Structure 1
């Protein structure tokens, strides 16, 4: 009977970003994800914190965060959301489970926070070499790197650093999410070093659709050990904050929740 027991190491791992999790189904060991930061917002911090919160929620013990510019936050789970998801899985036919999601709010409450009690590298003098050394000294970690290659880092060869990070993640079976202020590096090609690439743009709907805080564009999704067609038009979503949650949804113009002007019969 022991041969039928599921190994804990093979448990499906997720990012906590529901839209992305529906696309990839599970995070394979060695997966490395890039968030291209938006120059005018800090939404990347929320996504990285959600990624870490997912690990804490799933009782993962091997979690590492690297942040030189701000605190790491762990969000509390919305138990009502989890219960609703479990019920919906009972009613929805299996053939519809993998359809592209139109709307998805995360299961975490951004205002309810827990203390971060896992590995943390937060000193100002941390170098990229320190991070690579740490990644090579452990295995099977959930890793979040906040604002890597920001001006506080001094890197002589960014391509060599990216290669060494990717190599460490692959060799040691980590799942890693990294945000990079790519707007500082116009001539650097980052995508080839990552399995999944998403970019943020908070100016896309400026003064047009103010309830959307940003656009998230999944520019690259490599389905490890899978064959799947990639249609980039289906990978653009709007981000907004609603009832203490981060909501990612298909872009509606105008949004379905926009306040409609009242119509008076006297206007006709």
Structure 2
């Protein structure tokens, strides 16, 4: 389950993230690569449900094991309606309990919609507590690229200041595109289909790249050259690609700027695990924040920047949801005096628009 903003343009941008169109989506990994791998698996699971072909590439985990851990889709409409009714009941109960705590000056203001209307929801529903069935995997046509196997089967090569792992990966993607008929310049022999490409932890040491180890890597343009060639392959083929990048390990910020410029969609995940926000009452209902750094814009030479800065995600027992984060109207009952300074700083960063004004540096004045 994914939540997106209202409006046809923003729905189209999130469709690119799900893989409906030729694009490169960069997913900046969180510190422990927990939730970024979950989005990575959502992308692949959506391809299985839609009947798309898959290409899974990894340097640390066998692609077969990745597919076995994909979340199970929910095809039962009755079960989906039951989940929606349960969430609606919980939301109405919370609203009734909070109605007595809302200050009089905010009671008549419109409430912030956390989730969009049902018509804006796209894609399918998935149960993260269950794995995809083996029967569904057998009916899916997929291709694999496991770097340790490729390195043992082929001699090491290095061309155009690009690591051997990147070169082998590009050759494998190009071979699949032309062999399976995904080349957009020629009509497909069979019914038209889409190739979904998933590349895990690109830029890590396992790929033979040293951009995560030093501020001055040996091949500083190796990753950017790979992305430049990959974009060319995707532009002339019926394919979409999602890449997870350990951005928190890349010390050279100039490299990350180039990687961002070579991607159509860039989304960063900030997990609360091991940070001060894990115990902050402001984020008690969420597991992390989502930062939309770049989204595609049609018929324009410049990229678009999302106007929504306060997106957060939560992982429930069965569902992974993306919602709008907003401050509670009354902080006196749930927040201690010592933590109000942190909440004031968070208010400025999130631009919640709750109408609060920070007076001084130690407390909030409503």
Distance 1:136 1:226 in 2: 28
Distance 2:45 2:263 in 1: 22
Tell me what 1:4 maps to: none
Instruction: Tell me the matched-pair count.
Output: 230
Deviations 1:159-192 (A, max 9, x none): 2122112222222231111001122223212111
1:193 aligns with 2:193: no
For the 8 Å contact 2:129–2:317, the answer to whether it is kept is no
The SS at the match of 1:76 is strand
Cα drift, residue 196 of structure 1: 0.4
Tell me what 1:103 maps to: 115
What's the TM-score, normalizing by structure 2? 0.55
Cα drift, residue 25 of structure 1: 6.1
Tell me what 1:207 maps to: 279
For the 8 Å contact 1:30–1:172, the answer to whether it is kept is yes
Tell me what 1:129 maps to: 167
Tell me what 2:208 maps to: 154
2:72 aligned to which of 72, 76, 100: 76
Tell me what 1:169 maps to: 234
Change (3 A) 1:230 1:67: same
The SS at the match of 1:147 is coil
What's the TM-score, normalizing by structure 1? 0.72
Cα drift, residue 217 of structure 1: 1.1
Cα drift, residue 37 of structure 1: 0.9
For the 8 Å contact 2:199–2:243, the answer to whether it is kept is yes
1:53 aligns with 2:61: no
Deviations 1:59-100 (A, max 9, x none): 22x111112333313221223488549x9xxxxxxxxxxxx9
For the 8 Å contact 2:28–2:267, the answer to whether it is kept is yes
1:34 aligned to which of 2, 26, 29: 26
Deviations 1:82-124 (A, max 9, x none): 8549x9xxxxxxxxxxxx9732797110121124452222342
Distance 1:211 1:83 in 2: 22
Distance 1:45 1:254 in 2: 30
Cα drift, residue 133 of structure 1: 1.0
Tell me what 2:340 maps to: none
The SS at the match of 2:279 is coil
Change (3 A) 1:254 1:223: same
Which protein has the bigger strand share?
1
Structure 1, 140-149 or 48-57: larger mean CA deviation: 140-149
1:43 aligns with 2:115: no
Cα drift, residue 246 of structure 1: 0.7
Unmatched 5+ stretches in structure 2: 85-111, 151-164, 183-193, 210-218, 335-366
Change (3 A) 1:68 1:134: same
Runs of 4+ in 1 over 6 A off after TM superposition: 226-229
Change (3 A) 1:222 1:244: same
Distance 2:143 2:2 in 1: 22
The SS at the match of 1:134 is helix
